[in-house]
Structure 1
């Protein structure tokens, strides 16, 4: 009796979840080439595998339950985010949850949840609650301080506000406050010195050769561009919620990758950092939750 092996068709696994892989591989190669500690590289690889697995699991969660719990997750995340202010900081900077020897960058994990929760609140006709979530997160960025994340979340919030229902005056007012909060965050000095394999990973890649420098930049661009292309391809048949969340997360990931060009900020996914890996795959998993499932396409 013949044995038939059954494999999950590619369409059952969101292709979007593979877009961070090139940046991880380029980053690991550059770290190896420049003698970064094997323990650091091992942690990066382990975090990438965990993040990819987690993103795939998130993409398969029940959509209705995710949307129902999104505001509570955003609120709970925000409350936990303010715990960074009482955690041990570095030279007056408080961006991390400290778990023994491991530091988790809070905003990288919280920003996707805040954007999703705010989108649900806008959709439910609760614009003040949605605005409150965004502005609380921006207040946290201002106090920490974290200009890069303030900019990424601010830009994503403006996209979300533009696409959300409501009168023009409240939306313009909220957008103005978001812009002000971002500008104020850039006014806070960051005393931390850059770490070559975190903030300087693109320069290290360029030192390995022109092609590696191009590969580093291209691998960073693939993530938000892939998400943007998915959003465009689904736009006509997507729900308003899916459009808002996909567009805002694409903007968030794009600006997050761009801000290191303007200051000593961590380069997500390409450079060392557990939390940006988790946050990036979480963002992609959220888009997977809202997108069409295979059974809906058949």
Structure 2
């Protein structure tokens, strides 16, 4: 029995889907577990360590339901862009950094929440409908990530765009991706980002290493395998661009903590990455079940 059931209600699904589902669910769960054990070992109370595993379980159950739905409608991208804009305009900030929207007592990192699913939606829109609006959506997101600033999410989006183009040999797409990416990176680097690392968020693997080097190594390996899991469906030529792009985003944003004070997805404290990564993976599975691209994956 798979974690995310087949959308037509049957138990049949491709071996690629089964590998992806098994690898993603198991490895993401173990990554969450590694971070939870590290936080518990510091003597922190349940208010700090309980949220991540509970949210992971709830999101897996949610994704099992979402898996039965149709592909999300294109207008959902507009909602995502609006949420990202609101995080800059009205969201709470920390030392001038604008990445969050408050939902009651919870601060949601909007980019972490929406970006995985947005990447899959933009891929589908560009290749099935051929509308320039989807490319403009990616441009708008890059501009807002640069302004927030959020270098980890921006580099993740850029990596996804580059790998998406390379997977299809869309050389002309790289002609506009390269200068836009460079400009966005320069703007982001010029914006102040004084936030220091928090031990149970950005420094979670250091906490894990203090408990046991094997715990830190195991958590890091599980995060790596989670990031690579979309490649399990990349043998499908129609699915390859989205799978490669999503995996590139997971890898680059997921390991941004190696070069800066950026959150560690899944292992570090915070529910936005758990929601975002699991919903993004589910969107990729829905796309594989629903999408027929009719040969739109060739070079341009």
Tell whether the 8 Å contact from 1:154 to 1:179 is kept in structure 2 after alignment: no
TM-score after normalising by structure 1: 0.84
- Quote how far apart the aligned CAs of 1:137 are: 0.6
Distance 1:53 1:187, change over 3 A: farther
The Cα RMSD (Å) is 2.4
How many residues were matched structurally? 275
8 Å CA contact 2:34, 2:216 repeated in 1: no
| CA shift for structure 1 position 152 | 0.7
* SS of residue paired to 1:103: strand
Aligned to 1:3: none
Separation in 2 of the partners of 1:175 and 1:113? 23
For 1:38, which of 32, 46, 53 is the aligned residue?
46
Residue 286 of structure 1 is matched in structure 2 by 283
* 1:26 has 2:23 as partner: no
Match of 2:60 among 38, 52, 58: 52
Residue 132 (1) aligns with residue 136 (2): yes
Query: 1:122 touches 1:165 (CA, 8 Å); kept in 2?
Result: no
Which residue matches 2:208?
205
1:122 to 1:273, Cα distance in 2 relative to 1, 3 A: same
CA–CA distance in 1 between the matches of 2:225 and 2:185? 26
- The whole-number CA distance in structure 1 between the counterparts of 2:66 and 2:162 is 25
Once the two structures are overlaid, the 10-residue window that deviates more, 32-41 or 120-129, is 120-129
C-alpha separation in 2, matches of 1:88 and 1:82: 12
Determine which of 78, 90, 94 is the counterpart of 1:90. 94
Question: In the alignment, does 2:184 pair up with 1:187?
Answer: no
1:224-256 CA-to-partner distances (Å, cap 9, x unmatched) read: 12222x134xx1xx252x211111111111112
What are the superposed Cα offsets for residues 115-171 of structure 1, whole Å, 9 maximum, x if unpaired?
1232123114535312211111111111111111001111111112333586x4344
Alpha carbons of structure 1 residues 170 and 42: separation in structure 2 relative to 1, 3 Å = closer
Name the residue aligned to 2:77.
74
CA contact (8 A) 1:108 1:275 kept: yes
TM-score, normalised via structure 2 length: 0.84
Give a deviation string over 1:12-57, Cα, whole Å, max 9, x none: 9732333301101111100000122311212222211122222323
CA 1:134–1:34: 2 relative to 1, 3 Å: same
Q: Distance in 2 between matches of 1:131 and 1:176?
A: 14
Q: Does residue 1:157 correspond to 2:148, yes or no?
A: no
**Aligned positions of 1:266-281 closer than 5 A:** 266-281=263-278
- Report the 3-state secondary structure (helix = DSSP H, G, I; strand = E; otherwise coil) of the residue aligned with 1:169: helix
2: distance between equivalents of 1:256 and 1:284?
A: 15
* Distance in 1 separating the partners of 2:104 and 2:253: 27
Unaligned runs of 5+ in 2: 1-10, 291-300
Q: Which residue among 230, 233, 236 is the counterpart of 1:231?
A: 233
Q: Kindly indicate whether the alpha-carbon contact (under 8 Å) linking 1:154 and 1:178 is maintained by their aligned counterparts in 2.
A: yes
Q: Which residues of structure 1 form unaligned runs of 5+? A: 1-7, 294-298
Alpha carbons of 1:212 and 1:19: their partners in 2 closer, same or farther (altered >3 Å)? Answer: closer
CA distance in 1 between counterparts of 2:274 and 2:47 reads: 17
Closer, same or farther: CA 182–161 of 1 in aligned 2, 3 Å: farther
Pairing partner for 2:219 from 212, 216, 233: 216
